[in-house]
Amino acid sequence: MKRPQSTFLFTMIFSLFFLGLPLTAHAVGLPTITFGVEDAESPAQVSTGLQVLFLLTILSVAPAILLMMTSFTRIIIVLGFVRQAMGTQNMPPTQIIIGLSLFLTFFIMSPVINDINQRALQPYLNEEISQQDALQTAIIPLREFMFSHVMEEELVLLSDLTLDNEPVNKDDIPTLTLIPAFMLSELKRAFQMGFLVYIPFLVIDMIVASVLMSMGMMMLPPIIISMPFKLLLFVLIDGWGLVVGSLLQSFG
């Protein structure tokens, strides 16, 4: 007699649960995100849509802008040379090197960023200048920074390849010609600094290899013995401070 009653009770609870489930699911709404192309009711809506599209495009190419128009390239290449010269493989990790490079870049580029903020961004936010004028004004501090660090050889090379007439002054050189010239100059300076970083560590490797060969230990890899000495030398001379200080001084 108890089994039919328990079965009937279980059936009632099961039915009430599934009957109430649609009501509960209908009561709780789930947010959705939709994308579409619709007819604009006014020209202002078209302008706003184009501004959003332009902002998304800028965000997608922001890493390339960071690499091409700032001091990031030289810093990260030199720090990579330091890690390879010490032979520590992944120490410090790549994330640490990129993070340090980014903060040093922000530190070096802070005068340029402040100049862009005062001359272009704030007047545009206060509706004092148009968007086109803000972009043209914002590129001026970046051009001044790149002109102050670009080498004459690279600038002449790119000007001969891209321009029909010989430029008379800086205003005659377009930004699309200045950027690759600046990149080549940064690569050249970074490899020059990397060569200077490699020399003391290379001397230690040569000394350790000569000592091991004189002792007849030709089967023992010299890097196993030289790595502690290179780390000790790097710590004693405050290597990171010297490298970072040299990078900051190289940008004046």
pLDDT at 102 exceeding the cut of 50 = yes
Residue spans of the domains in the chain: they are: 75-250
Using a CB cutoff of 8 Å and minimum separation of 24, what contacts does 77-83 make?
Answer: 77/187, 77/190, 77/191, 77/194, 78/190, 78/193, 78/194, 78/197, 78/243, 78/247, 79/243, 80/194, 81/190, 81/193, 81/194, 81/197, 81/198, 82/197, 82/239, 82/243
E strand or H helix at 215: none
pLDDT at 251 exceeding the cut of 70 = yes
Whether the pTM exceeds 0.85: the reply is no
Q: Where are the alpha helices (DSSP H) in the chain?
A: 2-27, 43-69, 72-86, 94-116, 122-125, 131-149, 152-162, 175-214, 222-236, 239-250
Q: Tens of pLDDT along 179-222?
A: 888 899 999 999 998 888 888 888 888 888 888 777 777 777 76
Banded model confidence at residue 21, pLDDT cuts 50, 70, 90: very low
Say if CB 115 and CB 132 are below 8 A apart: no
Amino acid 13: pLDDT: 52
